[in-house]
Structure 1
Amino acid sequence: MTAQHTAAQHTASRYSAQAALLGEYADSLLGVFGSPSLVLTHGKGAVVTDADGRDYLDLLAGIAVNALGHAHPRWVEIVSRQLATLGHVSNFFTSPQQIALAGKLLSLAGAPTGSHVFFANSGAEANEAAFKLARRHGHEHPGPDGRPRGTVLALESAFHGRTMGALALTAKEAYRAPFEPLPGGVQHIPATVEALEEHLDGTVAALIVEPVQGEAGVRELPEGYLRRARELTRRHGALLVVDEVQTGVGRTGRWFASAAELTGAELPDAITLAKGLGGGFPIGAMLTVGPEVSALLGAGQHGTTFGGNPPATAAGLATVTVIEEDGLLEHARAVGAELGEGLRAIPGIGAVRQRGLLIGADLEVPEGAAAPFGPAVVEAARDAGFIVNATGPGTLRLAPPLILTQEQARTFLDALPAILRTATAAVTAPAAPAPDTPPKEA
């Protein structure tokens, strides 16, 4: 079966094995994710298959997680061997895999001697650790007035996670409001150099930024922003924390997206990672750069039961090794550039923002649309055999596996005009008239 199928085939088989499983999901799973659209049973490479046997080209990769696609043979072999050898041990102990992955990440970052790694289970947990690092820095290095630095700066449109600390760093009001009061001391500022210069002073403990704001629609920071942030944080004694949860580990065609501006002596003080690091196995990490920053968190001041366990770190090593040995950084740049160029040539697509295989494409919303266009395009794409994501009513996000081939990318580009037409018809079709009802009897 090909990665594409017709909308008619999809509709005809909705009330089948998949429909039954989705009914069971609704009965047993907490509804925090809404209603899932598919029950996926297996995958290979960049293709996944649902419970009714239909194939889809996966252009989202579990939201930038499955860097090597699905069931990559070397990744599966390494993780399976580790699971058959040693699983969880707790952090009373360590393992060769944990030590090796930490060393590899520090080497890839070009971190100096005295830098360290903390392993967690997710991006939110990595950012929680960075938040605590900022708090410790604020206490250990008071401001010019002698009082602890109480402010952490984050950016408008930022997304750093949904746990309470990570949510405090996240800007979106709809996410924040139901859970207030959140941890205090966080100030959100516009993502401009001017705002940075206005707000970064001696009261600030840390600035946390994403080099590309993925959840906001793949929004780039202004050119030179990270270099200026590095200058100002050093001048005022604040930490610079770079959230590479979505952009790290090859997603943008570099090991770290921030390395486009920050290398060598200009590295951030902390970098957080997750998503693509495990290639599908849950893992997060915080890198602390240099001995002074690494000394901020001591024994007993932070921890995790599962973080850095042997299977997770084996998965991380496998992912990094395959990316390195198979030249997937260069591949991501080449295929991403082809996707970006192809999208720009399609009528109905507006601005396209592309860094490697992280791509945001603005949609030209049809006149008279009666429903959000982005979700309609996602549904039409799914019916045509493609998994994509909408980060808002008018923006598509693509974050496919780094192993996506040029031929697979072209199948999506070839299908997209028809997908847009289908979605346009769906959001502009007149509402069906209400059926006639007889008058009630007196």
Structure 2
Amino acid sequence: MKNILLEGLNPSKILVLGFALVILVGAFLLTLPIATVNGVSLSFLDALFTATSATCVTGLVVVDTGDTFSKFGEIVILVLIQIGGLGFMTFATFLFTLLGKKISLKERILLKEAYNATSTAGMVKLVKRILLFTVIVEGIGAFLLAMRFAFDMPYGEAVYFGIFHSVSIFNNAGFDIFGDFSSLTSYVDDPFVVLTICGLIVIGGLGFVVINELYEYRETQQLSLHTKVVLTTTAILIVGASILIFLFEYGNVRTLGPLNMEGKILGAIFHGISPRTAGANTLSMADLTYATLFLTIFLMFIGGGSGSTAGGIKVTTFAVLMATVMAQLKGKEDVVLFKRRIVEETILKSLTVAVSGMMIVILVTFLLSITEHGHDFMMYLFEATSAFGTVGLSMGLTPELSPIGRILIVITMFIGRLGPLTLGFAITKRQTKEAFKRPKGNMMIG
């Protein structure tokens, strides 16, 4: 680890190369005959797609996980999900801490980059807490799910299913092993499963910095602006989306229509939470109304909290952009959230992330409409947004993708997990600050 930051490799490049290496190793393991149920080697492209989806905690699959992979293959996928969700640097830091090796300033900078933190202070302590918290939450989730699954399958299998789905859902991956691409549709009106899964999704999507601040709140009695924005925006999105989906799907005979009132509420809540990068579904995606599909695309694009297991442009980016729009409409010079003025650098960064994300989704949608044929345009837009937001929800297009389409989605998932800025910083050379300022220019806008 001492030489992990080689000359010429900035933190962004190391994160990109690290994730790429994990994906390639995972893809190789998934091509082994032992990784499949029938003992026939999976094609490298399908293995690469699966490994990328797992490491980027997406959940899009070209072959059904439960029907295709053996226990060995499923465990490989689970390990990739855990590494991808927490970040390979988290595991490297933990390993070298156990070995008694000192974590240098450069490694701390890399950790700061990985979690989008604002400072290197306390990063090693944060990593230890993250690992402990992850074990506790995933353990509780696995226990609760295993208890419920034990009513439907042998106890040993229920424990395995509980562990797999707890890890997958907490890391916002969306992989399931129920078979036949069914996800959690058979538990749509089961409050125990729905509420447990929703809890894992929300906790995993808040971000570890937020969770750490909540843990320390009893001592500090204060929350940062970041945490306040994440918690408030998340709550607004969950409540608002759940209400709208309930209204949109209430009379849909193929989704919420046949369910009783409790089932309708549970179905609406689950789908109001899951699209922000979890990828599991209790409603058939292909049967949703266009209003719900469009809302789902919107939620997938926003995603979860910075430094979390979730993807998307992040709720803080969305909140800053909305606050900026409101400030402009009101003619205010400053953008303010929770009585704090947002600095110009944050506003510009938010705008860059959002516009970059939109451009990627539009480009991939356009390319999919060329490479894939015979599908509704909404399917292409939905697939591209799901891949960029590392969500994993699909209207059924993923298994039918052509080889070129699969490569496009692999690239999109990779960009979505690392983030457009991280990838951009890794590819381009960042300019040093100019010693002079150029004359101001003006133009008509709007």
* Higher Rg of the two aligned structures: 1
TM above 0.5, yes or no, is: no
* Greater fraction helix: 2
TM-score by length of 2: 0.30
Which protein has the bigger strand share? 1
